[in-house]
Structure 1
Amino acid sequence: MHFTGKRRTVVLLFAGLLFAVAAALGTALGLSLAANQNTRNMDEIMASRPAIPSRLLDINGELITEFFSDEKRDIIPITSLPENQIYALLTREDAPFYKHTGVSIGGLVRAVINNALYVITNKGYFSGFSTLTMQVAGARHADRTDISVSRKLKEIWWSYQLERRFTKEEILEQYLNSVYFGHNTYGVEAASQFFFGHSAVENSPAEAVMLVIQLAGSGLYSPIIKPDAARGRQREILNQMVSAGHISPEEADTSFNNYWSNFDWSRSASDSPYFNRLANDKAPYFSEYIRTNIEQYLFGQQDIYRDGYTIHTTLNLDFQREADKEVSQGLIQWNQSYRYDRDTKTDYASSDLVQTIDLISLVFNIPEIRVAGAQEKRRAEEYFENKLAPVMDMMAMTFGLTDLKSLTTITYKKTRSNTRMNNVETALITLGNDNGYILAMIGGSEFNRNNQFNRAMDAKVMPGSAFKPLYYSAAISSGIVTPATRIYDSPRVFISPDGTPYVPGNYAGRWAGYVLVRDALARSLNIPALTVLEKIGFDAAISRSAALLGITDPQEIGETFDRVYPLGLGTLSIAPIRLARAYATIANRGRAVEPIAIRYIEDRDGNIIVNPERELRESQEKRDIQIMSPQAAFIMTSMLQTTVARGTLAYARRTVDGFDGMPIAGKTGTTQNWTDAWTMGFSPYYTTAIWIGFDKRGNSLGRYQTGATSTGPVWARYMKAIHKDLPRIDFPRPETGIVEVRIDKRTGMLPDDDTPEDQLRDEIFIAGTEPKTRSNMAAFEKDRDEEQIIKISVDSSLTNLNDDGSSSAAFTRDLFSELGLDPLYLDGGSSPNRTNNGSDNSSNTSSILD
């Protein structure tokens, strides 16, 4: 029904009067109920506190990030806020707050009159009469979307209840910590941090006013979205504060001018705490790891986004900042090397090969191999992406051409995807040797919406030679091999249990001849490594490796470790965290290290509700897992120190001019065609793993981009930085079970009277495994080649492979020829990299770049 003229006026006046009477009755009812109603549930009702984010702290108590969903809120006591924040709020929202008892009768009458006049005359404004107390009551005990009289009556009743039970200051604190200030911020502290970058404790009068005018909602006075409107409204409220005597005119002018002279005009309308969290997160890969794994500790209805937990973690942000700095610098160099190598290959192919291939395609009518057409297509795509797409994008936005915008969007997505797949990716993880603390974590080249995969924890990549120490440790433990065991490094065939022959090579295709195990590991020689694997067998090697990596499930062990000889060169796929765990266990005197990220969790009141570290320590004490003896671990540590001193990590050590006396052990790893590069290493304090490679398999980092030359220097700079303030300590030597013996380093035996001084070395052994016989150079020179020839010739596995009845030796010779290896080595010929007395004469550069 539609009323016009006088009838409309009468109806509206009657409705307004009826509302006023209802409100008055409600007020009277509220007063009566407030005097007599049993309020035993008031404390329980008010205890329903506002949602606040959970805070992630590092090991020193520094904030890493906060977890929140659509609300960003921090609680601050009213006593910490400046007076001008309270005055600004009361000036804008509820000037008679300290005079009324929850409901302003004058405000109610004024609202009825103003609203009636607005409806009747279309002049004036539509106003409400909610006090701050009513707003708190309505937010907690009424549906604010309901505009009925019954909702207002409920607010009035609860307002009197609140005023009767709580002080004015407590009501103000409830209000300021719960009200919405726009841009997904709830509460005055979170809003101040978002808008001004500092705590509400520091708010000037102009900043205090800027916050309270956000209460109008819908971004009407957002300084980010509508700075001109915000400026005018801010000045208006400041003037009102001056008129009310809260601040002086000079204070109002000074704070107003300071605010706008320092205003950041570059902020975007899309800014919000939720979208800015990643930018402010000091360790995003670590934070995301915590977020996705915390549910195992918090059961039931707990919500990390709203329940305000404090999560105390193991991360050390000082280490994290060093890691971020060094890896970022490394990524620049790694990507430059990759692109240079790629472009060099492309240029060569384009200039020397394409024309020949296309000619063959035309002559023999093989269109599938034609290259020029594909090149032209690629050049056209690059021109479209770089030249046309930006112009089309601008036209689409200017003229609203949706289809055109969709086309450019697809192009940009494809470009980003291709770029990401062809960028060098990386991972870094640092563990505490004695406690398993995850102290630093990098899971990729850059954490963003398109690159959140945590390669440090979840990637499955080949470790290359960085895997060798795991099964070397089994050989040392067994006593079958010692650091002084002599192994012949020359081309040979290894036959896997399934009968598959395998002929590995060394980096740069060179051979060392006789070499001691300590030096073979330091120089990452492949033939000696597989010979060690052969000596101990696959069962022992896989058992030890799985234990060190923390793989206990039999099915996973079977899927991870192929029982073939390439396994010994690191062809399995594992996550960096597992390899870091293995090396940390060696550093921890052979006692199992289990990585941990969360120490304990507190609720919003500071009560410890979960203590993962205590639970882990109790479990470790019960299980008491000693993977290898302290003696074997000490010898492995010593051998890996040799890698840093004069092996594949010597170059990295020299780039940082040493580690200031801190003992460091480590190993590098590089996979075939320079696809992956690793550096693993530890001190008596910490273990760090660094990996680089690609998400897209098949890419190459570039020629000679090895663990020694690429990740090695980055690892060395980082390790030196995190140890700079620590006292120098040695790796702990077992009190018993280790003996030190002087040996002839040519033979690994005890020296004889003719051993030159420069061929002597002090070596350590597990007691009982030290050499007992003295060197005999005449016998050594006679046996050095025959020993290897006989071993190959009499191998029954090879005999079974000869379908034509030829001898094993002949088969081996033919196989070596097919593989492009010189059969001369099978006939006892001298290795080109050693002198006739058996000592190593290879160049350091070619032999250590693994």
Structure 2
Amino acid sequence: MALSKKGKTTLRILAGVFAGFFILFSVVIGIALGATYNLEGLNDFNESEAALPTQIYDRNGRLITEFFSDEKRELISIEEMPRHLIYAVITREDQDFFQHKGVSITGTTRAAIGYLTNNFAGGGSTLTQQLATMLYLDKSDVSVSRKLQEIWIALQLERNWSKNEILEEYLNKSWFGHNTYGVEAASKFFFGHSAREVTIAESMMLALQLSSTNKYSPLKNPNLARERQKEMLDEMVVQGYATQEEVEASFDEFWRNYDYTRSGTTTAFFERQDKAPYFSEHVRYLLENEILLGSADIYRDGYKVYTTLDLDYQDAAREYLQVGIQSANETYDRNISSRARFATEVFVPAIDLLSLGFNVDQLRVAGEKQLQNAKTYFRDNITPMIDMLTLLSENSNDGGLRDITWTAYQQKENLEKQTTVQGALISLENETGHVLSMIGGNKFEQTNQLNRALQARVQPGSSFKPLYYSAAIEKEVITPATMIYDSPVVFWNDDGTPYTPTNYKGEWEGPVLARYALAKSMNVPSLRILNRLGFDDAISITSDLLGIPEREQVSRGLVRKYPIGLGVISVSPIMMAQAFATFPNEGREVTPVFIRYVEDRSGRIVAEPERNLREEQARQGRELQIISPQTAYIMTEMLQTTVQEGTLRYPRSLVGGFGDMPIAGKTGTTQNWSALWTVGFSPYYTTAVWIGFDEGNNSMGVNQTGAITAGPIWARYMKEVHRDLEPRTYNRPANGLIELEVTNRNGLLPPAGYNGATYTEIFREGTEPREFDTSEEFQRQVASEGRTKLDQSISQGGVELSTIGGSSLSDSGISLDLDLELSLDLDGTGDGQGGSNGEESGAGNDGDGDSLSNPFFDDSFSLEGPGGSSDVIPPEGGNSDEGGNPYLD
């Protein structure tokens, strides 16, 4: 039942009396409590200890970013604040601020009436009381005792501080939502500029956050915030703090320039200044989950974290990776447009013509194409406008259109993951494992925080090959000069399934040396090496290099099947960098390090993760030696060939070479050209670059490979970070290695009087060749006797090819293709022609006929035509060799 006018008056009187007695009672109780209650810093304005953010530094002591959670705070003096900002806060929070002495009779009476009538209409705390609770009390404690303390402290604040000091402390300590504390931090978060520059409308929007950060957030509820902002601006006019014209002009300007695209869930933490966001986010994870445990609070305790990052290297990585990703996306878009244009102009009309001619409605595609175009136009152009309109509607959070736009956004996001090229780059110091730079994607945003450098599970393609090459050298299965045949072959997996690999462009080069096969990224020779090595040793050593524990081998695809030889496994860029860094680190395991040590706010070291790692490594000792120093050195030599003459020759030339700095590396392109790699190192650093899609297996196009797309990014970065470093050589073991001159043709010792090309190769002692290359002498004999036999056969009217010189053709490894031109190669140089069988043909193979050109045997002709007949290779150890040189396949 509604109260009469007389009843309401009586209630107000009673409430006023109640409020008066309550205040008086609070003073009395406060005096009693004051004898024991410690108001620390009450007489020292602005001396209360504020929460401090944790600061993250690079290896040169430069600030990367700060970590804060609920207190992103920056201080600003009252003199620097615009008058209309002060007036907006007074209008919204405490219109009697300059009249009361810390407690408002009016406000307390209003609160009492609301309490008595169960019709709460706002709190009765003054701005000073709010500050008292903020500084000294627990706001979550809703009790009479806490209220009594609040009133007493507010009275003491008014006694000791001026009104301006109270305002300054209040505005610098208050919570404004979205992880911002203080008006300066809030202004920068909401408006992108200092509180010194806020307009009247912006001032009122900030004032609204003081009472209800969720309800009146312009990012979460722009409609409610707009409505309430207008009401309070009009109240400013009533109070005489602004004119109607001023508030209307400012209000219109505010919403005319308002950004509706900002997410309502964004916070100052995600929009903080961060020079290396992917790196610092991982540092935050390590601090919270591995290093600073227990009661440590990295958002308030003011730690100083000294990391391994180099901001100069980080800037170079960001620049070159972003340019490379942009170029890859542009090329991909052109490729897609070309395919779409062919489909639209040629394929679709042809199919529709067939459907009309033969009256087959199921073949009709034009209508489906138009429908798909309409869906795309709606998703990309109409959805954003509908979403903006829903924000302005009264029921913006209800279903209907909001659900439609949300679904469209999800579809677009999923599509982008399959059609937008992403990338990652990570760089390590070989000896220490220090992570010097790390970029986990194109841009670090709230919707793009996947750190692909650490978290991606992608196939490495041919960049995986050096890992089991090193295992084969370690197990003395091959040497860099081992002859391998590049020809069609069928491998049989343990489960009885066949695996038939092919080379790039389907070309075959015949017999090649292992060094050449790796430099040119040839598939079949690499798989022949894997077959000779065996799966057990290949999986064991490559897992150790990659840092994959045994329990994860199967889930990452490291199983006993031949596709692993072409990189059909799951890795991340940091794992590839870690593996390759083992080679210049003399075969020792490399553990990535992000944090060197941590100090508390007093400068005392509280954590030393790097020191702990070094102590653990010292305890492990020889267990860290994954491959021998001799094998590691041989791999650095072989991978330098890839840069000089192989698939990385193009990127090296693009940057003008690396001067006297020896650089080694390997490219990789996965099946269907869906992921591109370059991983390489110097005596100082190892860097891995990955380019690909987050989801799906779309092709980026045959014109994008590891050498053409990822290679230039890697080469430009490596050139930049080595610019001011003194050239250094790789550490060569003092013993256990031997260098010999071998023939280009088959990697054997050149006999006396040998006229063919030779080069100096390096071997582990005991694996060097001991046989002489007799192919030159044999070819002369074959050529001489072959011509004689042919002349005789032709003159007699027939051709007898069963024997030449008393030797069977099959026994000598000779077959003739009568459709081919018979030619001799007595100098052993090869013709220097023929494309690369690696996946990067055209990028690294220039066919210049140098000392590493394909050493074709002139006796490798075939009656079946180019390529010869196929071999069939059984599982592990099914080697057709019987006796002879164990390093000649």
The normalised TM-score by structure 2 is: 0.73
1:648 partner SS: coil
The structural deviation recorded for 1:719 is 1.5
Which moves more between the two structures, 676-685 or 202-211? 202-211
Amino acid at match of 1:135: L
The structural deviation recorded for 1:184 is 4.3
Residue in structure 2 matched with residue 836 of structure 1 by the alignment: 825
Q: 1:53 to 1:418 in 2, by over 3 A?
A: same
Amino acid at match of 1:675: S
Asked whether the equivalents of residues 354 and 372 of structure 1 are also in contact (C-alpha less than 8 Å), the reply is yes
Q: CA offsets per residue over residues 387-436 of structure 1, 9 Å max, x none?
A: 66567667767887973454344334323432332122222222221222
Residue in structure 2 matched with residue 31 of structure 1 by the alignment: 31
CA distance in 2, matches of 1:596, 1:783: 62
1:26 partner SS: helix
Amino acid at match of 2:774: N
Residue in structure 2 matched with residue 185 of structure 1 by the alignment: 180
Q: CA offsets per residue over residues 503-557 of structure 1, 9 Å max, x none?
A: 3222222333332222221111223212222332222222111110112225625
Residue in structure 1 matched with residue 543 of structure 2 by the alignment: 546
Residue in structure 1 matched with residue 694 of structure 2 by the alignment: 695
The structural deviation recorded for 1:682 is 0.9
Residue 297 (structure 1) aligned to one of 291, 298, 312: 291
Residue in structure 1 matched with residue 325 of structure 2 by the alignment: 331
Q: 1:368 to 1:537 in 2, by over 3 A?
A: farther
Q: 1:783 to 1:380 in 2, by over 3 A?
A: farther
Are residues 1:763 and 2:774 paired? no
Asked whether the equivalents of residues 587 and 682 of structure 1 are also in contact (C-alpha less than 8 Å), the reply is yes
Asked whether the equivalents of residues 679 and 691 of structure 1 are also in contact (C-alpha less than 8 Å), the reply is yes
Amino acid at match of 1:289: H
Amino acid at match of 1:332: Q
Are residues 1:282 and 2:275 paired? yes
CA distance in 1, matches of 2:348, 2:330: 25
What is the 5 A alignment of 1:112-191?
A: 130=126, 132=128, 135-137=131-133, 140-141=136-137, 143=139, 151-158=146-153, 178-181=173-176, 184-187=179-182, 190-191=185-186
Residue in structure 2 matched with residue 623 of structure 1 by the alignment: 620
CA distance in 2, matches of 1:317, 1:264: 38
The structural deviation recorded for 1:569 is 1.8
2:586 partner SS: coil
Residue 434 (structure 1) aligned to one of 427, 431, 434: 431
The structural deviation recorded for 1:707 is 0.8
What is the 5 A alignment of 1:427-576?
A: 427-554=424-551, 556-557=553-554, 560-576=557-573
Residue in structure 1 matched with residue 715 of structure 2 by the alignment: 716
1:560 partner SS: coil
Q: CA offsets per residue over residues 427-470 of structure 1, 9 Å max, x none?
A: 22222212222222233344434433333222222211111100
Structure 2: stretches of 5+ with no match in the other structure: 91-96, 114-120, 243-249, 784-812, 842-889
Residue in structure 2 matched with residue 20 of structure 1 by the alignment: 20
The structural deviation recorded for 1:284 is 3.3
Asked whether the equivalents of residues 439 and 453 of structure 2 are also in contact (C-alpha less than 8 Å), the reply is yes
1:461 partner SS: coil
Asked whether the equivalents of residues 92 and 212 of structure 1 are also in contact (C-alpha less than 8 Å), the reply is no
CA distance in 2, matches of 1:87, 1:328: 41
Residue in structure 2 matched with residue 84 of structure 1 by the alignment: 79
CA distance in 1, matches of 2:106, 2:255: 42
Residue in structure 1 matched with residue 751 of structure 2 by the alignment: 752
CA distance in 1, matches of 2:197, 2:340: 60
Amino acid at match of 1:836: D
> Larger % of helix: which?
1
Identity fraction in percent: 41
Q: 1:382 to 1:746 in 2, by over 3 A?
A: same
Q: 1:216 to 1:232 in 2, by over 3 A?
A: farther
The structural deviation recorded for 1:641 is 0.7
Residue in structure 2 matched with residue 248 of structure 1 by the alignment: none
Which moves more between the two structures, 340-349 or 668-677? 340-349
Q: RMSD in angstroms over aligned alpha carbons?
A: 5.2
The structural deviation recorded for 1:779 is 5.5
Asked whether the equivalents of residues 519 and 639 of structure 2 are also in contact (C-alpha less than 8 Å), the reply is yes
Q: 1:607 to 1:187 in 2, by over 3 A?
A: farther
Are residues 1:417 and 2:396 paired? no
Q: CA offsets per residue over residues 668-722 of structure 1, 9 Å max, x none?
A: 1112221221111111221111122223433111013211111111111122122
Amino acid at match of 1:187: G
Asked whether the equivalents of residues 744 and 758 of structure 2 are also in contact (C-alpha less than 8 Å), the reply is yes
Q: 1:312 to 1:706 in 2, by over 3 A?
A: same
Asked whether the equivalents of residues 34 and 164 of structure 1 are also in contact (C-alpha less than 8 Å), the reply is no
Q: 1:108 to 1:157 in 2, by over 3 A?
A: closer
Residue in structure 2 matched with residue 816 of structure 1 by the alignment: none
Q: CA offsets per residue over residues 60-86 of structure 1, 9 Å max, x none?
A: 3444444444x232376xxxx657369
Residue in structure 2 matched with residue 577 of structure 1 by the alignment: 574
Structure 1: stretches of 5+ with no match in the other structure: 96-102, 120-124, 241-258, 786-824
The structural deviation recorded for 1:497 is 3.8
Q: 1:165 to 1:485 in 2, by over 3 A?
A: farther
Amino acid at match of 2:308: T
What is the 5 A alignment of 1:297-446?
A: 297-300=291-294, 302-354=296-348, 371-385=365-379, 403-404=400-401, 406-446=403-443
1:677 partner SS: strand
CA distance in 1, matches of 2:591, 2:821: 46
Asked whether the equivalents of residues 92 and 213 of structure 1 are also in contact (C-alpha less than 8 Å), the reply is no
Residue in structure 2 matched with residue 636 of structure 1 by the alignment: 635
Q: 1:6 to 1:343 in 2, by over 3 A?
A: closer
Are residues 1:772 and 2:765 paired? no
Amino acid at match of 1:315: L
2:489 partner SS: coil
Asked whether the equivalents of residues 664 and 682 of structure 1 are also in contact (C-alpha less than 8 Å), the reply is yes
Asked whether the equivalents of residues 107 and 125 of structure 2 are also in contact (C-alpha less than 8 Å), the reply is no
2:753 partner SS: coil
Q: 1:694 to 1:222 in 2, by over 3 A?
A: closer
CA distance in 2, matches of 1:185, 1:429: 32
What is the 5 A alignment of 1:41-52?
A: none
Number of residue pairs matched?
Answer: 771
Asked whether the equivalents of residues 482 and 747 of structure 2 are also in contact (C-alpha less than 8 Å), the reply is yes
CA distance in 1, matches of 2:431, 2:637: 18
CA distance in 2, matches of 1:621, 1:500: 46
CA distance in 2, matches of 1:522, 1:834: 27
Asked whether the equivalents of residues 111 and 129 of structure 1 are also in contact (C-alpha less than 8 Å), the reply is no
Which moves more between the two structures, 775-784 or 513-522? 775-784
CA distance in 2, matches of 1:480, 1:51: 62
Which moves more between the two structures, 405-414 or 592-601? 405-414
1:747 partner SS: coil
Residue in structure 2 matched with residue 251 of structure 1 by the alignment: none
CA distance in 1, matches of 2:86, 2:405: 51
1:430 partner SS: strand
Which moves more between the two structures, 657-666 or 693-702? 693-702
CA distance in 1, matches of 2:48, 2:821: 81
Residue in structure 2 matched with residue 244 of structure 1 by the alignment: none
Asked whether the equivalents of residues 88 and 205 of structure 1 are also in contact (C-alpha less than 8 Å), the reply is no
